[in-house]
Chain A
Amino acid sequence: MKDFDAVVIGGGLLGCFAARNLRRWNLHIALLEAREDICTGISRANTAIVYPGYDHKPGTLKAEMCLRANAGFAALCRELDVDFHRCGSLMVSFGENADMVLQKKYENGLIMGVPGLRLLSGQEAREIEPVLAQGISSALYAPGTGTVNPWKLGIAACENAAANGAEIFLNTRVQGISRTSEGYRIEACGEAFSCRAVVNCAGLFSDRIQELLFPAAVRIAPNAADYLVLDRAAGVRPSHIIQYEPEDGGKGFNAVPTAEGSLLLGPSERENEADFAVSTEGLSFVCEGARRVLPGLDLMQTIRSFAAVRPNPRGKDGRSIGSFVIEHPGPGFWSFIGIKTPGLTCAEELGAYAAERIAAELHAEHNPDFDPLRPGIPCVRNLPLPERAALVRENPDFGEVICRCEDVTKAEVLEAIRRGAVSVDGVKRRVGTGMGRCQGSRCTRAILELLSGELNVPVASVRKDGPGSEILEGAHE
């Protein structure tokens, strides 16, 4: 039996940040992730917006966290060495009724103290964002809104937690939890973990994890959502995050110029779809939104579509719950159930929230050795030429470009593998290979060879992402 002070269940954004924050205290921490890599669930597919917080009810935990998180986001990303683009956002409206809705959001934002908010006329909005449609009658400008790559952020937090001594257990699916005199006993894939505190961050399965020991208070009803990605070369392109919410309360539309340079469009929303499978109706819906709000976009520049799953929490009465659901069903046991938007924005806040409460319950001391800094993998694409040249002199592998679309070198791929990538998508999540316009058709071969060599496995057993996703059937000779 492995013995810890606290066990985090789930290695998505929330679990990674919970583990990181728990290590700010003198606690022995384990993170258990069911899959072979972290950040492969909800955290892998979302809208990537760091929200400014004008859209929540003042005084709620969600509102407070979002506001604080947004203010601290640049500092957090500096600590974790992750790109963060504070590009600002424009929420647009068509017609008088919709203008009123924006007015209300604006007022709400003022009460909350969201910095820099401005309500613009359609004309003013088009002056700062010329690609907006003519019919747009007003826009709520929020300079604080930004975008971050969600899985890169989660992976950075996990690396930082591990560097500070948290133990990460992959391929470790939690199957049972029981009470002991000391706290809890967790069964996972033939291993047992004992601990005094638990943070349940199992995303889409967080309701079921809690039900392993406690009665259900909240159930998750998943919804699917579809997205499109446009090439960075797509001619017309907004420089702000563009948001649109129809006044009938239907699902809106976002266009996000991502940290990687592509343009993310979506999401659509579909009821009761629990798999990450794309629907063509959903894609058409996204395209319609795009044509209405950004008529000049060239949708032929689409390089990828993908689906996400929303974990909607519902009460016993079946009603959907809007606030963050944070349950505390037993001593030292904290559950994040179905944390949706703005869970990415608030990941660090939520992690700190759980950690502080657990530290208090366990009477833990601050960890004086905690180091918040995590050095990222050097990204040659962002470097000025002389610095890039210096890297190549140090390590020739920085000179060898593997992914041409995203300009990623062999040294970066090797470092991704050394830091835990075990699959082609694992490399992609760490250094961005295959995310560009050729979608990996030119670099997958080289990445397969590097994974095979580094992990010392035959190339035919290298996977796309997880068991059963081997890319090849075999290899002769």
Chain B
Amino acid sequence: MNKTDLLIIGAGAAGISAACAAWDAGCRSIVLTDRLDSPGGILRQCVHEGFGLAEFGAELTGPAYADRLSERLSCTGVLFLPGREVLALTKEKTAVLSGSGGIEQVGFKRLILASGCREKTIGSLPVAGPRPAGIFTAGQAQEMINLCHWDLGSNIVILGSGDLGMILARRFTLEGKRVVSLVEQNKRYGGMARNYRRCIEAYQIPIRYRRTIRELHGMPRLTGVTVENLESGEREKLPCDTLVTAIGLIPERELIRGLEKEEWLSLAGNCKKVHDLADSAAAEGAALGRQIGEQLAKGNTA
């Protein structure tokens, strides 16, 4: 079994920053692991600008921001193990990693979970109708469009007007698709004013406020959604071939079920709490990495 002082699960903005900060604080035995082949996490699929103002003083795209973080990482002696899924953690402070190279166990003194988040899906909503093709979550749509260059559909309804929903609305528009409408249950859009101006106003994309989706239509492919006005109860059918749900992120903590109280465990980034900005996830990771790195460095010299 391999051993390390500090194991960090997840090489997104939070995990990389934590690793670098722990290194800078003097910890010399750090393993950073991720299921993906390159570091960056969710940043890799965020091809738009708007990252790094706080961290690097420049407006970068997600991948450029990830590259900056990776450069920092490569200046340290942190051991990066890509292409490994952490399958399980035990009370005995070992992690089980699975990759095409084999199943490995890594023992650690401290653990930072920086596993990001997953998305809430349409399945969790009480929506009537069939279950056709043509329904995506926002992060999934972003990955398929930006990383795979796939075409999801032509007439799109987006449920939710958070930053992710708004950024995607612009992305679809730039791809030459028609965003029929965003549908938002609240009276105001959910994301930042900056994103509203740049993504919605600038492209005159309609948002239907105080509304939600009640029914799906079409089989085998989506042909429309029924939207209900939450105040009047009035219903309207919006024809569309694609529905994208941007209805919320859920911290990804399945790995630590039953271990939440262990004193060797700490969380950073979106798995701790969902951050609107990568910079703040990075800052949180860095602060935690520094603190734990110092403790481990001291412990080893003492």
Q: Which A residues lie at the B interface, using CB under 8 A?
A: 229, 233, 275-280, 283-284, 300, 302-307, 385, 388-389, 392-393, 396-397, 399-401, 404, 407, 409, 437-439, 441-442, 444-445, 459-460, 463-477
Task: Enumerate chain A residues within 8 angstroms of B85, measured Cβ to Cβ.
Answer: 400-401, 404
Contact A468 B221 (CB under 8 A): yes
Q: Which residues from B are CB-within-8-Å of A229?
A: 123
Q: Decide if B123 touches A445 in the complex (CB within 8 Å).
A: no
Cβ contacts under 8 Å, A278 to chain B:
127-131
Q: Which residue of A lies closest to B83 (CB)?
A: A400
Residues of B within 8 A of A468 (CB): 220-221
- In the complex, what distance in Å separates the CA atom of A397 from the CA atom of B119? 26
**Contacts A/B (CB < 8 Å), 28 sampled:** A233-B257, A275-B130, A277-B130, A278-B129, A303-B121, A303-B124, A305-B126, A392-B102, A393-B102, A396-B100, A399-B100, A399-B102, A400-B83, A401-B35, A401-B87, A409-B98, A439-B121, A439-B123, A441-B118, A441-B137, A441-B139, A467-B220, A468-B221, A469-B133, A469-B220, A473-B154, A474-B151, A476-B150
Known: A396-B101, A445-B148. A302 touches B124 (CB 8 A): yes
Give 3 closest A-B pairs by Cβ, nearest first: A469-B220, A396-B100, A474-B151
In the bound complex, do residue B119 and residue A441 qualify as a contact, i.e. CB atoms below 8 Å apart? Answer: yes
Tell whether, in the assembled complex, residue B152 and residue A473 are in contact, meaning their CB atoms are under 8 Å apart. yes
Verify if B231 is at the interface (C-beta below 8 Å from A): no
Output the least CB separation between A306 and chain B (Å): 6
Q: How many whole Å from B50's CB to the nearest CB in chain A?
A: 23
Q: Does B103 lie within 8 Å of A472, measured CB to CB?
A: no
- In the bound assembly, the distance between CA atoms of A400 and B103 in angstroms comes to 10
Asked if B5 lies at the interface with its beta carbon under 8 angstroms from chain A, I say no
| Given A277-B128, A401-B87, A471 contacting B123 (CB threshold 8 A) | no
The reply to whether B221 and A469 contact each other, CB–CB distance below 8 Å, is yes
Which chain B positions have C-beta within 8 A of A284? 126
Given the complex of chains A and B, what is the CA–CA distance between A460 and B154 in angstroms? 14
B178 close to A (CB within 8 Å): no
Distance, CA A471 to CA B132, complexed state (A): 9
B206 within 8 A of A: no
Q: Which of B100, B130, B143 has the most CB of A within 10 A?
A: B100
Assembled-state Cα–Cα distance A409/B84 (Å): 12
User: A303–B152 Cα gap in the complex (Å)?
Assistant: 23
A233 touches B128 (CB 8 A): no
Contacts of A233 in B (CB 8 A): 254, 257
Looking at the assembled complex, report how far the CB atom of A232 sits from the nearest CB atom of chain B, in whole angstroms: 10
Neighbouring B residues of A475 by C-beta, 8 Å: 148-151
Kindly list chain B residues whose C-beta atoms are within 8 Å of the C-beta of A467.
220
* A242, chain B: closest CB distance, angstroms: 22
Q: Are B119 and A476 in contact (CB under 8 A)?
A: no
Whether A438 pairs with B121 at a CB distance below 8 angstroms is yes
The residue from B123, B127, B140 contacting A444, defined by CB atoms under 8 A apart: B140
Cβ–Cβ contact B140 & A476, under 8 A = no
Partner of B136, one of A277, A302, A399, A441: A441
The yes or no answer to B144 lying at the interface (CB within 8 A) is yes
Cα distance, A197 to B195, chains bound together (Å): 67
Find the residue from B98, B121, B219, B220 having the highest chain A CB count within 10 A: B98
**A471 to B123, alpha carbons, bound, how many Å?**
17
CA distance A303 to B119 in the complex (A): 11
Q: Among A300, A302, A304, A473, which residue has its beta carbon within 8 angstroms of that of B153?
A: A473
Measured CA separation A262–B1 after assembly (Å): 33
Q: Which of B103, B123, B219, B241 contacts A305 (CB 8 A)?
A: B123
CB neighbours of A409 from chain B (8 A): 98
Please name all residues of chain A whose beta carbon is closer than 8 Å to the beta carbon of B143 when the two chains form the complex: 445
Chain A residues with CB under 8 A of B93: none
Whole-angstrom distance between the Cβ of B24 and the nearest chain A Cβ: 31
Q: Cα distance A401–B128 when bound, in Å?
A: 32
Kindly identify which residue among B129, B133, B254 contacts A277, using a CB–CB cutoff of 8 Å: B129
Residues of chain B within 8 A (CB-CB) of A396 are 100-102
- Contact of A399 (CB < 8 Å), options: B98, B124, B134, B152: B98
- Cβ B144 vs Cβ A472 within 8 A: yes
Q: Is B137 a contact partner of A399 (Cβ separation < 8 A)?
A: no
Chain B residues, CB < 8 A from A472: 144, 150-152
List residues of chain A with CB within 8 A of the CB of B274. Answer: none
Q: Tell me which residues across on chain B come within 8 A of A306, comparing CB atoms.
A: 131
- Least CB distance from B202 to A in Å reads 24
B220 and A466: CB pair below 8 A?
yes
Bound together, the chains give a CA A279 to CA B219 distance in angstroms of 15
- Give the chain A neighbours of B133 by CB distance below 8 A: 463-465, 469-471
B144 touches A442 (CB 8 A): no
B 88-130 to A, binary, CB cutoff 8 A, 1 in contact else 0:
0000000010111111000000000000001101111011111
Answer whether residue B214 sits at the interface, using C-beta atoms and an 8 A cutoff: yes
Chain A residues whose CB sits within 8 angstroms of the CB of B96 once the complex forms: 385
Chain A residues with Cβ under 8 A from B123's Cβ? 229, 302-305, 439
> Which one of B87, B103, B119, B214 has the highest number of Cβ atoms from chain A below 10 Å of its Cβ?
B103
* Known contacts A463-B133, A477-B149; A385/B214 CB under 8 A: no
Interface code B73-91, partner A: CB below 8 Å = 1, 0 otherwise? 0000000000101010000
Q: Which chain B residue shows the least CB distance to A226? A: B128
* B9–chain A nearest beta-carbon distance, Å: 13
Residues in chain A near residue B124, CB distance under 8 A: 300, 302-304
In the complex the two chains form, is A400's CB within 8 Å of B99's CB?
yes
Give every chain B residue within 8 A of A464 (Cβ-Cβ): 132-133, 220
Known: A277-B128, A468-B221. 14 other contacts (CB 8 A): A305-B127, A307-B130, A385-B96, A385-B103, A399-B98, A401-B87, A401-B98, A407-B87, A438-B119, A441-B118, A441-B139, A445-B143, A473-B153, A477-B149
Question: When the two chains form their complex, are residues B151 and A397 in contact, meaning their CB atoms are under 8 A apart?
Answer: no
Taken together as a complex, chains A and B put the C-alpha atoms of A441 and B136 apart, in Å, by: 7
> What is the CB-to-nearest-CB distance from B242 to chain A, in angstroms, rounded to a whole number?
8
Q: What is the chain A residue whose CB lies nearest that of B124?
A: A302
- Asked whether B128 lies within 8 Å of A280 as measured between CB atoms, the reply is yes
Q: Which residues of B lie under 8 Å from residue A397 when comparing CB positions? A: 100
Complex: A392 Cα to B102 Cα, angstroms: 6
Q: How far is the CB of B55 from chain A (nearest CB, A)?
A: 27
Contact yes or no, B151 A460, CB < 8 A: yes
Are A399 and B103 closer than 8 Å at their CB atoms? yes
- A275 near B118 with CB under 8 A, answer no
A389-B121 contact, Cβ under 8 Å, with A465-B220, A477-B149 = no
Q: A437 to chain B: closest CB distance in Å?
A: 7
Give Cα distance in the complex from A422 to B126, angstroms: 30
Q: Which B280-301 residues sit within 8 Å CB-CB of chain A?
A: none
Distance in Å: Cβ of A297 to nearest Cβ of chain B? 14
